[in-house]
Chain A
């Protein structure tokens, strides 16, 4: 099984991205991406800066996964979120009572949650939660 291994250089290196949602904004074309990059993936500019992603957004598209890697319980909705202020986020939902509640255009927020345990170490990251309207 090829699974992400938290006690690995990759996870340690990406600490600011994983816990503080630090992405990149291109000062030339305005593209926002995640994780950070030294070269803008859209236009190739070197003129980039750190950009903290918003934790609020709306569901751009989603799916509900029934055949999952170990430790993730089906049905698991996964969203691509359009974030306020630009940029996208892709993540698993949390606290969904019924998968049918997930809709394109639904307002969501990113919340820090345990994702899975690997080699005895708890792996945390951001999940997506529906925001109650009102």
Chain B
């Protein structure tokens, strides 16, 4: 696989605070995000002259508000003169949308492109969205979805993590404590309050062993990124953020074909591909934004991305290794748990956070940088069969 290192940079990002935006339509959210993104470019950009293509992320159809094709975004940004493709790729929809934009530039086809993800999840009651997510895998399977919901799809992993690796409900709760602490510091986060381990364990059981406070909220949001040829980036900003590697990894969509329930092969493959492309070691990463749709998923991610061995994630978490002031901060933004998870906006918002952190513009939640390298990760889709990992750096 050829590397894209040195070819692609990010020159601007924008988003809106995530939350329950009953007063805003998906169109409102996308337009505000687009305006924020264009205005974020330090030396300015002429969008209709400079932006030559765009990619739109949206899962949409499950939640009652969605875009059918790229023409929806063309209308929102007032530009029907460029090609725009809509991407749907499960929970990594946002990051996979950005990956296509990155390849659009890396291929030499376009100099400057836009990636925007938007999701309106609160148009439906929470329980309906939850069940809608659980039925994604129905396609052609006789019994996959009976009684299943999004939390149930993860809870079967959590049970096996407890059995095989000795993790407890307290281990998983510690993820919520850490991420809510960080979310409180982030002005874009949906939930801006602290929780304790006791709060998590006392919250209602959604799907044993996962409590309500082990689950990410259902959130409205949008986020956007402008991607540019690396050698042109300084025309737009003195502080571009460079893409070192991006890769999608897959596993089977149905649990009938899984090799085990303590590891997500999709994440392992996405991480291996992105690190190979970047040509860096795990130890060189300063901080990461990973997919904590449920608290146990985050612990699995530490191990599957390769930050530690299987079984070490829980103990390291409890020691504070992944805290915002620890050796490897994970989720300075608050993660999906506190920042929110508007599906197609999630991955792109994590890249926004990496951009701000790598430029040391993250305010109260700024992490310490050593190598100036960040990792972003999503995993999801039917049976957690798709993952995307993108590695960015302040140096080319």
A126 to B143, Cβ gap below 8 A? yes
Question: Do B141 and A35 have beta carbons less than 8 Å apart?
Answer: yes
Specify which chain A residues have a CB less than 8 angstroms from the CB of B160 in the assembled complex. 60-61, 104
Chain B: residues with Cβ within 8 Å of the partner, total of: 42
Asked if A68 and B147 sit within 8 Å, CB to CB, the answer is yes
In the complex with contacts A65-B207, A78-B148, A80-B261, A41-B62 CB distance below 8 A = no
Known interface pairs A10-B140, A61-B163. Does A67 touch B62 (Cβ–Cβ under 8 Å)?
Answer: no
Interface residues of B in 258-314 (CB under 8 A from A): 258, 261
Instruction: Contact check, A60 vs B261: say whether CB atoms are below 8 A apart.
Output: yes
Contacts of B41 in A (CB 8 A): none
Contact status B147-A78, CB under 8 Å: yes
A115 touches B206 (CB 8 A): no
- Does B318 lie at the interface of the complex (its beta carbon under 8 Å from any beta carbon of A)? no
Mask, B115-132, CB within 8 Å of A = 1, is: 000000000000110111
Asked if B252 lies at the interface with its beta carbon under 8 angstroms from chain A, I say: yes
Count: A-B pairs, CB below 8 Å: 120
B156 and A4 contacting across the interface, CB-CB below 8 Å = no
Q: Which of B131, B140, B157, B204 contacts A1 (CB 8 A)?
A: B131
> If the complex has contacts A34-B256, A72-B147, A92-B147, are A61 and B138 also in contact, measured as CB distance less than 8 A?
no
Q: Contact check, B256 vs A87: say whether CB atoms are below 8 A apart.
A: yes
- Best-buried of B132, B141, B258 by chain A (most CB within 10 Å): B141
| B159/A63 in contact, CB under 8 A | yes
Query: A residues within 8 A CB of B127?
Result: 67
Distance in angstroms between the alpha carbons of A116 and B138 in the assembled complex? 16
Residues on A with C-beta less than 8 A from B159 are 61-63, 104
A106 within 8 A of B: no
Chain B stretch 196-253: residues in CB contact (< 8 A) with chain A:
204-210, 252
Contact for B143 among A1, A61, A68, A125, CB less than 8 A: A125
On whether the beta carbons of A125 and B157 are closer than 8 Å, the reply is no
Produce 1/0 per residue, A100-116, CB < 8 A to B. Answer: 00001000000000011
The one of A1, A68, A88, A125 that contacts B142, using a Cβ cutoff of 8 Å: A125
Q: Which residues of B contact A18 (CB under 8 A)?
A: 142-143
Known interface pairs A2-B132, A61-B160, A88-B256. Does A67 touch B207 (Cβ–Cβ under 8 Å)? yes
Chain A CB within 10 A, most for which of B132, B141, B157, B159: B159
Partner of A66, one of B134, B148, B205, B258: B205
Q: Mark A1-43, 1 if CB is under 8 A from B, else 0.
A: 1111000001100100110000100000001011100000110
What are the residues of chain A within 8 A of B152 when measuring CB–CB? 63, 65, 78
> Chain A: which residue is nearest B62 at the CB level?
A2
In the complex, whether B146 has a CB less than 8 A from a CB of chain A is: yes
Q: Find A63's partner among B132, B208, B258 (CB 8 Å cutoff).
A: B208
User: B155 at interface (Cβ–Cβ under 8 A)?
Assistant: yes
In the bound complex, how far is the Cα of B157 from the Cα of A80, in angstroms? 10
Asked if residues B128 and A1 are in contact (CB atoms below 8 Å), the reply is: yes
Point out the residues of chain B lying under 8 angstroms from A17, CB to CB.
142
Are A67 and B130 neighbours in the complex by a CB distance under 8 Å? yes
**Nearest A-chain residue to B157, judged by Cβ:** A61
* CB neighbours of A67 from chain B (8 A): 127, 130, 149, 151, 206-207
Query: Does the CB pair A42–B143 fall under 8 Å?
Result: no
B202 to chain A, nearest CB (A): 15
In the complex, whether A54 has a CB less than 8 A from a CB of chain B is no
A89 to B144, CA, bound (A): 9
Cross-chain contact B146 with A91 (CB below 8 angstroms): yes
Check if B156 sits within 8 Å of A104, measured CB to CB.
no
Q: Does A85 contact B (CB under 8 A)?
A: no
The yes or no answer to A44 lying at the interface (CB within 8 A) is no
A90 touching B208, Cβ below 8 Å: no
- Determine whether the beta carbon of A33 is less than 8 Å from that of B157: no
* Complex-state Cα separation, A121 to B257, whole angstroms: 30
Question: Is B146 in contact with A125, judged by CB distance below 8 angstroms?
Answer: yes
In the complex, the answer to whether B149 meets A65 with C-beta atoms within 8 Å is: yes
Distance of A90 Cα from B382 Cα, bound (Å): 14
- B residues 77-133 with Cβ under 8 Å of A? 127-128, 130-132
Write 5 A-B pairs (CB below 8 A) sorted by A numbering: A1-B128, A23-B256, A61-B157, A67-B207, A69-B131
Contacts A63-B155, A91-B143 supplied; 18 other A-B pairs, CB < 8 Å: A1-B132, A4-B135, A11-B142, A18-B142, A23-B256, A35-B140, A63-B209, A64-B155, A64-B207, A65-B207, A67-B206, A69-B131, A69-B135, A78-B148, A80-B261, A91-B146, A115-B143, A116-B146
